[in-house]
Structure 1
Amino acid sequence: MTIMEKKRIVLLSHNDLLGGAAIVTYRLMKALHELGHEADMLVFNKTCDNPHVHQLGTRPVRGWRFISERAGIMMRNGFNRRDLFKISTASTGMNIHRHPLVKKADAIFVNWVNQSTVSLKEMQRICDMGKPVIWTMHDMWCMTGICHHAYSCSNYLQQCGDCPYLGPKAAPGDLSHKIWLKKKKLYDSTDIRFVAVSNWVKQCAHNSSLLRDKDITVIHNAFPSDLFRTYSDKPFTIETRNRFKNIIAFGAAKLDDPVKGLTYAIDALNILMNEAPEIAAGSVAVFFGKTDRDDLFHKLRFPHLACGTINDHTVLHQLLVQTKVILSTSLYETLGGTLIEGMSAGATPVSFGRGGQTDIIDHKVTGYIAEYCNPRDVAEGIKWALAANLDREKQHETILRRFNANDIALRYLSLI
């Protein structure tokens, strides 16, 4: 079959529209439709009314399997609730290989399918059907024993074991090593085609003991750049338009997630407040995202606004159109959706480079890659971005070229 022939594609995902991995999967489905192919999502949690998105199983079955996996983890991590959702075992999942859409499909696109969506045993059954299986790595779970991000742990370079997330239960032959063995058996007996969403994810996979011998293709996430153009009919707020020359925006689903590195952003902004008061005088830092902490910004002396979660796309677009600098100090980032959104709207990104940010930013050309965990260099990056005054339309065009949804869909089809 050639990529121009009409195909039936099934995309597997835990959610339809909740979370970054789900959203980009949904965008890929829509891009496949635009190219004339049949594409449907099978999901554990459905929130949209799109008829091409289908929820798996019944509510009691989903609930039981979800609780079963989480309970199994709790029993093996010393009943540590704090890290409960930082790991997954794929010990339970839904019955997918018998689904009518899967039986008719020409190919199966597997995305983020943890938390009882697809078990490792079910993945084996899907692969045994003889259809092309393309598995997109939205985090590190495919290459580790059980964790979604290894952070500073290097055990995944061997065979896992002694897992930091298992606390008193950690041991050379612990749960992480046992799941590593199950993944090894699955990968050795199947022809799964792995996709990394950034070159950083690919490099991590090639360093890992599970995937170092596998062919891995880098395909970036699809991005609807037409939704984040460089102009808007209305300002984010009248106050921001009239009072501030420069908006520095920082966004995350959960601002107080340690991985987002907010303290480095706060330290960098305070350095600017101390050493470049002329910048602070005409600027405001706008933070958007959820937080459970009332004291999150109590050390920040730079002028700022905390907006909470912005669910309205129009409002977010209005903010980004006014934004001069889109700032990220994430310690790890598989790609960096907020940076892409901001840059598409014309902002200049400033970020650390530990992750997929380097696939988005060309240092001192389209943005600034700061030295890792160095707030002073982040401050320098903000100063550079404000002084560079990059052409906003060219920023948008860069995103359009790199993350065009139809081009990305064609790259996926070429793997079938």
Structure 2
Amino acid sequence: MRVLIVNTSENVGGAAVAANRLMDALNNNGIKTKMLVRDKATDNITVAQLDKSWRQRWNFLWERFVIFCHLRFKRDNLFQIDIANAGTDITRTREFREADVIHLSWVNQGMLSIGGIKKILASKKPVVWTMHDLWPASSICHYARNCHRYESRCGNCPLLPGGGSRNDLSAKVWRRKRQALGTNSILFVTCSRWLADKAKKSGLLSGQKLMSIPNPIDTHVFCREDQEKARIYAGLPADKRLILFVSQRVTDQRKGMDYFITAMNKMVEQHPEMRQNTGIAILGGQAEELAGKLPLPSYPLGYVSDEKKIASVYNSVDMFVLPSLEDNLPNTIMEAMACGVPCVGFNTGGIPEMIDHLKNGYVAEYKSVDDLAKGMHWVMCEADREALAAEALRKVNTCYSQYSVAMKYIEAYNEALALKRYKL
């Protein structure tokens, strides 16, 4: 079996990281797998790049311009919306022709258009589509927040000025997606049960097959190491207990920066002795902005792409906190747990599927600053850290190992092949 994973980027963003890890997991377990991307960053021979041309850039710019117009020339929500009105026809590529199964991943921002997806389905090749967010099951949004319109049909979109209208951009894109899907069978995979529950309610996905399979992680890269050596490599102090906050862009409000700041202030106010022995490491773009707002000594590390360096940062810290307001199955929690680091997060999205409350970390009440502060202090100062670490490692090895996830995807591919043969 030959599988082609299609993703916009080779290594930028959580979906790209997950797609890369899945490709490695499948190749390591006997499935010949390649990736096809628009933005290639390495010389990895298993990753193919679309032909570079002005049209690739144009697809991205044209989509942003159309969205910008519908936003009445305001930048609010400019990158919260994707309409897939422009993209590349990948059915003409050699990689597509050679594949037995087409595996769509995150294909937005000018990679594939809705018309291009329709051509893929018309090719009669079996298609598996991993949902890293809600976009494949909604109209134009990646996270619906409190909106339920996608369950019937979109329109009156809260991301559009004035709340949109009955026949707004979201309604038009919904119709185009509905027409593109037609009666074609796609096997949709969600990375968390939380997203699966949402996707099952989608009016677009009615009648489609849905499975839930987590992302894999390479436990040879993300594994427990000596903390003292890790701190030397990461450039972090040896004389403090360290808390870690990670995000590709730490100022992303969805990742809960404001809640983290408020909870940290509350915890330090209640336990002032922490000022002397505790610090905060911040990994991600714009880390300096967060560092200046925190009540403890902070160590902004900026954006890091090297996995060995990232693993050393995890191994340097005593706790990882990710108070996301909405998240699917964060790679960062999985990475921290694979390094034996207890995690704290809100009870939302796929986070409580990863963190087992009071066993390998702490799941705080959603948006409760008090409970978040309580959970952070419990992990840092009250719990048996070695017991938490052991449970975190057990969870990763049981649920997220390359072998475990690869076997589940092989089952999904075989089912997609069977669905296609049944349709034919």
Task: Give me the whole-angstrom Cα distance separating, in 1, the residues matched to 2:367 and 2:88.
Answer: 41
1:57 aligns with 2:51: yes
The aligned residue for residue 361 of structure 2 is: 367
Task: Give me the whole-angstrom Cα distance separating, in 2, the residues matched to 1:264 and 1:281.
Answer: 23
1:243 aligns with 2:245: no
Task: Give me the whole-angstrom Cα distance separating, in 1, the residues matched to 2:375 and 2:128.
Answer: 38
The aligned residue for residue 208 of structure 2 is: 214
Query: Could you tell me which amino acid in structure 2 is paired with residue 316 of structure 1?
Result: I
Task: Give me the whole-angstrom Cα distance separating, in 1, the residues matched to 2:361 and 2:56.
Answer: 44
The aligned residue for residue 3 of structure 1 is: none
Query: Could you tell me which amino acid in structure 1 is paired with residue 238 of structure 2?
Result: N
Q: CA deviation at 1:284?
A: 1.3
Gap change, CA 1:208 and 1:314, over 3 Å in 2 = same
Q: Secondary structure at the match of 2:283?
A: strand
Query: Could you tell me which amino acid in structure 2 is paired with residue 402 of structure 1?
Result: C
The aligned residue for residue 275 of structure 1 is: 270
Task: Give me the whole-angstrom Cα distance separating, in 2, the residues matched to 1:76 and 1:240.
Answer: 46
What are the within-5 Å matches in structure 2 for residues 95-244 of structure 1? 95-168=89-162, 170-232=164-226, 234-237=229-232, 240-244=236-240
The aligned residue for residue 413 of structure 1 is: 410
Task: Give me the whole-angstrom Cα distance separating, in 2, the residues matched to 1:216 and 1:359.
Answer: 18
1:401 aligns with 2:395: no
What is the count of residue pairs matched by the alignment? 408
Query: Could you tell me which amino acid in structure 1 is paired with residue 331 of structure 2?
Result: G
1:264 aligns with 2:279: no
Gap change, CA 1:15 and 1:133, over 3 Å in 2 = same
Gap change, CA 1:313 and 1:38, over 3 Å in 2 = closer
Larger mean Cα displacement after TM superposition, 349-358 or 230-239:
230-239
**What's the TM-score, normalizing by structure 2?**
0.91
1:343 aligns with 2:337: yes
Gapped regions of structure 1 (runs ≥ 5): 1-6
Q: Write the deviation string for residues 297-325 of structure 1: whole angstroms up to 9, x where unpaired.
A: 44422333222223333332222113211
Task: Give me the whole-angstrom Cα distance separating, in 1, the residues matched to 2:206 and 2:6.
Answer: 24
Gapped regions of structure 2 (runs ≥ 5): 414-424
Q: CA deviation at 1:158?
A: 3.0
Say if 1:230 and 1:393, in contact at 8 Å, map to a contact too: no
The aligned residue for residue 390 of structure 1 is: 386
Say if 1:352 and 1:370, in contact at 8 Å, map to a contact too: yes
Gap change, CA 1:371 and 1:120, over 3 Å in 2 = same
Q: CA deviation at 1:82?
A: 3.4
